[in-house]
Amino acid sequence: MAAEDPATRRVQVAEHPRLLKLKEMFNSKFGSTPKFYVRAPGRVNIIGEHIDYCGYSVIPMAVEQDMLIAVEPVKTHTLQLANTDPLYLDFSTTANNICIDKTKPLWHNYFLCGFKGIQEHFGLSKLPGMNCLVDGNIPPSSGLSSSSALVCCAGLVTLTVLGLRLSKVELAEICAKSERYIGTEGGGMDQSISFLAEEGTAKLIEFSPLRATNVKLPSGAVFVIANSCVEMNKAATSHFNVRVMECRLAAKVLAKHKGLQWDNVLRLEEVQSKLGISLEEMLLVTEDGLHPEPYSREEICRCLGISLEKLRTQILTPNTQDELTFKLYQRAKHVYSEAARVLQFKQEVWGQRLTTYWSRMGRLHCVPRAH
Ligand code: ADP
Ligand code: MG
């Protein structure tokens, strides 16, 4: 499945009210007819919260809500973006000089992430122009990954306009990397499930190398996803990146504590694999090597033997370099125990005791990952 290209199919637009409406809006916006439509779904995570960017496996599934884009390639090198939601303003740029402003995560920048990702992957200096009308129904900034659905959809739009082919895994990896152009240091879960999801099954997503395995859901189960209506824009605030940086710093301090080469360590999983020990043992290493009180920047510098300047400019991101304190212990404890929960699930699945697991879990509601 994962080695496949994304699926394409012929549809009668007149039989699909959403497509028909999009086609009509496209016509009134651009005075022409879309040549094709691309869609990418949002997701909910079932087990494995905030551990994908630490290198650990996760179990998400796609939701019905998606990003849908009507597309018309044009001969000029102009990229014109419009949105069915008037909140998202029209945008136009020359397709040859893409600039993504990290300081203002406006909606079109997510599209540009996917666009640029494909451009860079193929080393293209010139990209064809296109007119695009975006229609999304994933509640934004609510933890269902509307941002990644938009990045993935834009990547697939660009690939299709170029007439090139990539597997779903390649697309997921490109889009995971390119969404970071917006400034968020995410892992690869959201883009992976957006491309690799299949109807009726969740997926165990594992990294390095990226692979997805079906996780059969209990028949008749209903997943209720509640929207708290509190929005958290991951790129406009530093909350998300602070959490990623806390995990990164915990990984470095733990690596140093265990006498490992810590400079290149970025993820907590790397510390575990370098030590070659279990997740339970990593929890003991965490107890031993970190303290529950937040770490000041100065203490982190002392632990690692580096200057404040190096910490700020070479380890932290632009939107976290002025943070004064970091919770290393809590992050490491969470990541290793959450990774153990996914591993336990995986072993249960492999042991064919899935039904027992689901009933024991007693948790068939999902909490969207807001930050
Ligand atoms: P999420 O949890 O939904 O991924 P993010 O804060 O990462 O939240 O991304 C939300 C951003 O994605 C929005 O601020 C907006 O820029 C973009 N976005 C979401 N839905 C749409 C849409 N329908 N059209 C255009 N952009 C959208
Ligand atoms: Mg997002």
Residue 13 CB neighbours (<10 A): 17
Q: Reduced to 3 states, what is the DSSP secondary structure of residue 352? A: coil
Q: Reduced to 3 states, what is the DSSP secondary structure of residue 74? A: strand
Pocket of ligand 1, beta carbon within 6 A: 83, 85, 88, 107, 110, 134, 136, 138, 140-147, 150, 233-234
What's the CA gap between 225 and 41, in Å, rounded?
15
Q: Where are the domains of the chain?
A: 13-215, 238-365
Q: Under a CB-based contact definition with an 8 Å cutoff, are residues 290 and 329 in contact?
A: yes
Q: For the chain, report the end-to-end CA distance as a whole number of angstroms.
A: 31
* pTM attached to this predicted model: 0.94
Q: Which CATH class is domain 238-365?
A: mainly alpha
Q: Which CATH class is domain 13-215?
A: alpha beta
Query: pLDDT tens, position by position, for the chain (371 residues)?
Result: 556 889 899 999 999 999 999 999 999 999 999 999 999 999 999 999 999 999 999 999 999 999 999 999 999 999 999 999 999 999 999 988 888 988 889 999 999 999 999 999 999 988 889 999 999 999 999 999 999 999 999 999 999 999 999 999 999 999 999 999 999 999 999 999 999 999 989 999 999 999 999 998 888 888 999 999 999 999 999 999 999 999 999 999 999 999 999 999 999 999 999 999 999 999 999 999 999 999 999 999 999 999 999 999 999 999 999 999 999 999 999 999 999 999 999 888 766 555 555 555 444 445 565 44
Q: Which of 5, 85, 190, 263 is catalytic?
A: 190
CA of 13 to the centre of ligand 1 (A): 26
CA of 61 to the centre of ligand 2 (A): 15
Helix ranges (H only) for 163-267 are 168-178, 189-196, 239-257
